[in-house]
Amino acid sequence: MILAVAMFGATLAVLRVLAAAQRVVGWILVAAAIAGLLHPLVTRVERRLPHGLAVAVVFAAAVGCVGVIAYGTVDGIVREMRHLQEVAPREAARLERDGPFREAAHDAHLADRVEELVRDVPERLRGGTPAEAVRAAATRAVAFLATGILALFLLLHGPRMARAGAAQIRDERRRERVERVAMAVFHRGFGYARGAIAMAALAGLTAYALASAADVPGPAPLGLWVALWDLVPVVGAVLGALPIVLLAAAVSTGKAVGLAVAFVAYQAAETLFLQRWVERRSVRVGPFLTVAVGVVGLEGYGIGGALVALLAVTLAVAALEEPAPEGS
């Protein structure tokens, strides 16, 4: 009885500690994900340079690339978002009045919903009111700094820590089998993650090009939206492209049909060729798990939480597909 009470109390204490440290745990998970994605580059570079210098070069290059992309795109995305705020409600209202889907749009109160959505976007991106935005910006700055330092630390010392953990297994044969399975899960899981990110980037660029060619307002934020949705296999790009098709339909039915056909064709090509190519070299997760875990992560911690949750479930699926070490 005393032991049961003690275990119950210890469990509550651990849960309280995890709840209090969830922000730090989140930083560690994101840092581990970044380190895992950059590790293959470090491995290649350290063939020519010492390990520490290779880590510094890869990490600096990654930060530089992110900085250049952010500098080059954020201003454009903000400007196009403002334009989208002006145009989207007007085009939605036109779609309710004169569009080919006017009855369905009117029943769904499309204009009101679009106006409310685009009105709330800046506040959500900013982090609420101006005072809340300042606090959110300070919190994000600390989070970025802490995550960057942790990722750099894991790139420098992660392999040594993994070897030290494996060394705790006394039996040599069992230790070798555990290491083999762990390395297979690592390579397959992060290989799928890198492939998914590459496909999402390609889908976003394709959506941006198609939206620009069709004169759809706000092609940059809409392309980013498609890229995020493309992380869902089989149907993600098509679902993410629906706002582009609807905005085009408010101006020209022909443009909307052409865009819909183009996105369906892109989704088919990605599913039949790119997705299968990535899965043959990594692991197959499937749309159900992707959507379910992504929604949970998004609800709890936003886009970052969704991405980390997707990576976690990918690693879990890779682990389940690996044969268990004998005698473990």
Rounded distance, CA 267 to CA 182, Å? 33
103: burial class by Cβ within 10 Å (0-12, 13-18, 19+)?
A: exposed
Rounded distance, CA 308 to CA 9, Å? 30
What does 126-160 look like in DSSP terms, one character per residue? HTSSHHHHHHHHHHHHHHHHHHHHHHHHHHHHHHH
pTM (predicted TM-score)? 0.71
Provide the b/e sequence for 113-131 (b: ≥16 CB within 10 Å). ebbeebeeeeeeeebeeee
Tokens of 317: 């699926």
Q: Residue 191, Cβ neighbours under 10 Å: how many? A: 18
Rounded distance, CA 267 to CA 136, Å? 36
Per-residue pLDDT of the chain (328 residues; tens, 9 = 90+): 565 555 656 655 555 655 555 677 777 878 888 888 898 899 899 888 898 899 999 999 998 887 776 666 666 666 666 666 677 777 777 777 775 666 666 666 666 777 666 665 555 544 444 444 445 445 667 777 888 888 889 888 888 888 888 888 888 888 888 888 888 888 888 899 889 989 999 999 999 999 999 988 878 888 888 988 888 877 888 988 988 888 888 778 888 899 999 999 999 999 999 989 998 888 888 777 787 777 777 666 666 677 788 888 888 888 888 765 555 4
What does 250-282 look like in DSSP terms, one character per residue? TT-HHHHHHHHHHHHHHHHHIIIIIIHHHHHTS
Tokens of 119: 């009105």
Which residues have C-beta within 8 Å of that of residue 182, sequence separation ≥ 6? Answer: 162, 166
- DSSP 3-state assignment of 57? helix
- DSSP 3-state assignment of 213? helix
Closest by CA to 110, choosing from 223, 257, 256, 249, is 249
Q: Residue 162, Cβ neighbours under 10 Å: how many? A: 15
